Structure 1
Amino acid sequence: MNTYKVQKRDMETKAKKLRREGFVTGNLFGKEIRESIPLKIERKEAERLLRECMKGSQVLLDLEGTTYDVLVKEMDYNSMKNEIMEMDFQALVKGEKVHSVAEIVLHNKEMVGGGVVDQLLTEIAYKAEPSALVEKVIVDCSTLKLGDTLKVADLDIAKDKNIDITTHMDAPVVSVIVPRNAEIPEDTEEEAAE
C-alpha cells in the first residue's frame, strides 16, 4: 500500500494562497478523530496520489510522523485549470464498515462480436470493512454478444459476502448494442414489426 506525506494546514492561511504556494488542500476525518484535521499536500505529492489512486482507494497517509490507514473519499479536480484542488480522506477503523466506490473496468471489449459495448455504469457504491475494500471491478466482455446486458447482480463483487452493495442490483453495467451506422438485417426488422 502506498504512503503519501501530508501536513496539518493552518486555517489562518487561505486555500487560494496555499494553492499559489504549490499546495493542495484537504481534510482527514473519521470515527476515532474527534475533529476533522485540515491538511495541505505538496502539489507533486497530490499529483502522484492522483496518478496512482482514485476515489475509493485505500492508502496510507504520513501526517507529520503519524501514519493513518485511509480511504480516498473525494478528489476535486479542476479540468479547466488542469489541477487537483482538494482531497478528502476517511481514517479507517478495523471492524467498522465504510461507504466506498469501486471503479468498473471493461476488458476484452474488442472480442465482442456483432455489436458495440456500451458502458452504462462506471462505479459501484458499497459498504465494507477495511480488509474487504475493492478499488476496481474487472468485467470480462469476451463472452458477451449482441443483445446481452450485465447487471450489478451479475458481477463477482455482488456475490462477495463481505461487501454490501448499495448500488441497485438490477442497474445495468454494460450492454452490447447494434453499432449506430450499421444496417439492421431485414429478418430482424420484420420480427420487430410483428
Structure 2
Amino acid sequence: MKLTATKRTETGTSASKRARAEGKIPAAIYGREVETVPVLLNEKELEMTLREVGSNGVFKVDVDGETYDVFVKDKKNAALKPEIYHVDLLAFTKGQKVNMTIPVYVNGEEEIKEGIVSQSISELEVNVAPASAPSEYIVDVSEMKIGDAKHVSDIVIADDVELLTDTELTVVSVSAPQIEEEPEPTSDDEMPEPEVIGEDKDSE
C-alpha cells in the first residue's frame, strides 16, 4: 500500500484547519535516520489504508519522489467526531527494530457462565521490526473461572519480538459478582418522640 503526500508549507492551527476542510490530514514523518518531514495526507486514502493494513500495519508514503516505509506511531482524533486530526508516522529502514504498541483483545467471554471478566491491559509494548510485528494479541478466557487471572507472561511472544511490558502485570481476571446488601429497615420504635410545642408538662 502506498500513499502520496505533499510537504506542508504552512503550519499552525489555522493552517491545519484549512487543510482538514480541504480533506487533508496534517502529519509528520520522522525516525532514527530521518529528519522530521511535515506533510499532508489525503484523508480518504489514509482511512482506506488503515482499514486495509490495521492500526499498526506498515505502508509506504511517497513525498516528492522519496519513499518512506512507515507505520502510525500516534494518531489524534477529534473529540466529538470520528475524524483524524493529526498523524505521527514513524519511518524505519529494513531490518531496523522499533518500539511498537500492539493491541490485546479478549476472546471467549461468552463461554463464562459465572463471574465478571475484567481486562486490565489493552496493549503491549514491544520492540520489533515493523514488517514482522503482529497485528494483535488474543487472550482466550473461555476456560477461566472465578478467581482465575492471566498475566502478560501467559501471552505467547515470538522469538523475534522483545517484550517491554512487565510480564507480571495482570491482563485479564474473572471475579465473583458483587451482591448488593439491602439496607436494614429502621424501626419506628427507635425514632424519638416529637415534642409538642406549648404542652404544659406540669398539667398532669
Counterpart in 1 of 2:137?
A: 137
Residues in 2 aligned to 1:69 and 1:109: alpha-carbon distance in whole angstroms: 37
Shift of 1:29: 1.0
Structure 1 Cα separation of the partners of residues 114 and 66 of structure 2: 55
Normalised to the residue count of structure 1, the TM-score between the two structures is 0.81
How far did 1:4 drift? 3.1
Distance 1:171 1:58 in 2: 28
Q: Which AA in structure 2 matches 1:130?
A: P
Q: SS of 1:36's equivalent?
A: strand
Partner of residue 85, structure 1 = 85
How far apart, in 2, do the equivalents of 1:12 and 1:131 lie? 31
Q: Deviations over 1:83-105 (max 9, x none)?
A: 11001111122232201010011
Judge conservation of contact 1:101–1:135 (CA < 8 Å) in 2. Answer: no
**One-letter amino acid of the counterpart of residue 174, structure 2:** V
1:123-148: per-residue Cα shift (whole Å, max 9, x none)? 00111123431220011222222211
**TM-score normalised by structure 2 residue count:** 0.77
Tell me if 1:162 matches 2:163: no
8 Å contact from structure 2 (residues 58, 131) kept in 1: no
* Letter matched to residue 91 of structure 1: A
Q: Structure 1: which 5+ residue stretches go unaligned?
A: 184-194
Q: How much is the aligned-residue C-alpha RMSD, in angstroms?
A: 2.2
Residues of 2 paired with 1:131 and 1:66: CA distance? 19
- Segments ≥4 residues shifted beyond 4 Å: none
Computing the radius of gyration from Cα coordinates, the structure with the larger value is 2
- Cα 1:74–1:7 change in 2 (3 A) is same
Q: How far does residue 64 in structure 1 lie from its aligned partner after superposition?
A: 4.5
SS of 2:18's equivalent?
Answer: helix
Q: Separation in 2 of the partners of 1:44 and 1:22?
A: 8
- Cα distance change, pair 150–86 in 1 and its aligned pair in 2 (3 A): same
1:29 alignment partner in structure 2: 30
CA distance in 2, matches of 1:104, 1:118: 13
Alignment CA distance shift 1:108-1:182 (3 Å): farther
Map 1:1-194 → 2, pairs under 5 A: 2-11=1-10, 14-33=15-34, 35-52=35-52, 53-54=54-55, 56-157=56-157, 160-181=158-179
Structure 1 residues 75 and 49: CA distance shift in structure 2, 3 A: farther
Q: How far does residue 172 in structure 1 lie from its aligned partner after superposition? A: 0.7
Identity rate of aligned residues, in percent? 31
Residue deviations 1:69-90 (CA, integer Å, cap 9, x gap): 2121011011313311001111
